[in-house]
Structure 1
Amino acid sequence: MKEPAKEAPTVSAILFLLAGPILWAGHLLLVYGVQSVTCVVGSGSVAPSALIRTLVVLVTLGAILLLCLALFFPGRLAHMLRYQTPDRDNHVFSVRVERLLILLSLPAVIWSGAAAFLLDACGLSR
């Protein structure tokens, strides 16, 4: 039987493994939340479209930066989340899963950020 003190806490393990999808979900929330609020508040003017594009680009670049940091420095992310496992095989597996999920989330963040340039920002809400 393993000692509870040596096992990784469940919450930190989940946050470490799902860092990519969590950042992707946060990116979608910020992009569409900011877009909806800006379109409603700034209705009737041309400025919200440029403002929305600028905000979407900034949020997307921030999400890409965080995803790349988590991808290239998984040890720092694990340390920040206090995720550690004494078994070497479990650690290698966890890092591989975390990196795979980040690599799946990165194109999704880029694609949803590119939508700001392909679609009218407030076109459907008019």
Structure 2
Amino acid sequence: MAEDPGSFYAAVGGRPTFERLVRRFYAGVADDSPLLALYPEQDLEPAIQRLTGFLEQYWGGPGTYSEQRGHPRLRMRHLPFKVNPDQRDRWLRHMRDAVDELELPPLYESELWGYLERAAHAMVNTFEE
């Protein structure tokens, strides 16, 4: 699936914007031991590529994520990991920093942040520490 020129993805700058977002986010994750423990790979680059691909597809960019990995099924893919409210909040804190650094127009920032908040809350699958 090709990029939709009228999409949110195109309006915010396409892949370079999502790469900046995700790389900034993972720079925070790399220094957050409790959150980093959720990532089975020592090298975060594969996770960076997966999240970038997922977000660009979700927001109207190329469908490469689904072509390579199938349907996103976010909750199913995250079930093997214990995601508790503390980890959700850590995830959101790093993502908030990353979104802020993009300096998007307020309407786009609000739309992006709203989605990220909802997604983070949906990933919680335990209340255990």
For normalisation by structure 2, the TM-score amounts to: 0.32
Q: Which has the higher contact order (CA 8 A, sep 6+)?
A: 1
Structure ID, larger Rg:
1
For normalisation by structure 1, the TM-score amounts to: 0.32
